[in-house]
Amino acid sequence: MKKIALTIALLCSASLFSGQAAANAFVDGEDAVSYRQAAFQTIRFNLVDINDMFRGNVPYDLERVQRRAEALAALTQLPWEAFNIPGADHASGKVKTALWQNLDDFNSRGDKFAADAAALHEAAQAGDRRQIQGAFREFANNCKACHDNYRAD
């Protein structure tokens, strides 16, 4: 949590005090790396909490699942922009070079991931536990599939 708070603080101070009129939301490729890594961390927290409820590690609470799914539907739209700004391919992210050679495939995986999160959100709103669990499984399959291809160890 500390790392996320720090990242957000850094992002705020960079945009408030840099005085630069950037053409995009980021001052440079390193900003883009911080932004997308912070987004992935927040995605992970929300995913793990739903997973813990289905595993019985914490009590199942539909309202809490709905809140997490709503967050995921928004958060899963965030990282992709930060892979597509000029200079992103030369920044320090933990990314395989295959990502930059297959950016279209990567972006469409990002779209599918966000669409699966929207479907999870919809299922959560409808409230049927088995349907939510199915949508959650489908959603969670995206992580490893993409990491195996494009995330560096």
Residue 137 binds ligand HEC, judged by CB under 6 A: no
Residue 43 binds ligand HEC, judged by CB under 6 A: yes
Residue 95 binds ligand HEC, judged by CB under 6 A: yes
Q: Exposed, middle or buried by CB within 10 Å (0-12, 13-18, 19+), for 132?
A: buried
- By beta-carbon proximity to ligand HEC, the closer residue of 2 and 21 is 2
Beta carbons of 92 and 33 less than 8 angstroms apart:
yes
Q: Going by C-beta distance under 8 Å and a sequence separation of 6 or more, which residues neighbour residue 150?
A: 95, 96, 98, 99, 102, 106
- By beta-carbon proximity to ligand HEC, the closer residue of 19 and 152 is 152
**Sole binder of ligand HEC in the list 25, 90, 94, 128 (CB under 6 A):** 94
What is the smallest separation between the CB atom of 44 and ligand HEC, expressed in angstroms? 4
Return the C-alpha torsion angle 49, 60, 145, 35, nearest 10: -30
Strand partners, 36: none
**Interface with ligand HEC by CB under 6 A: which residues?**
33, 36-37, 40-41, 43-44, 47, 93-95, 99, 106, 109-110, 113, 140, 142-143, 146-147, 150-151
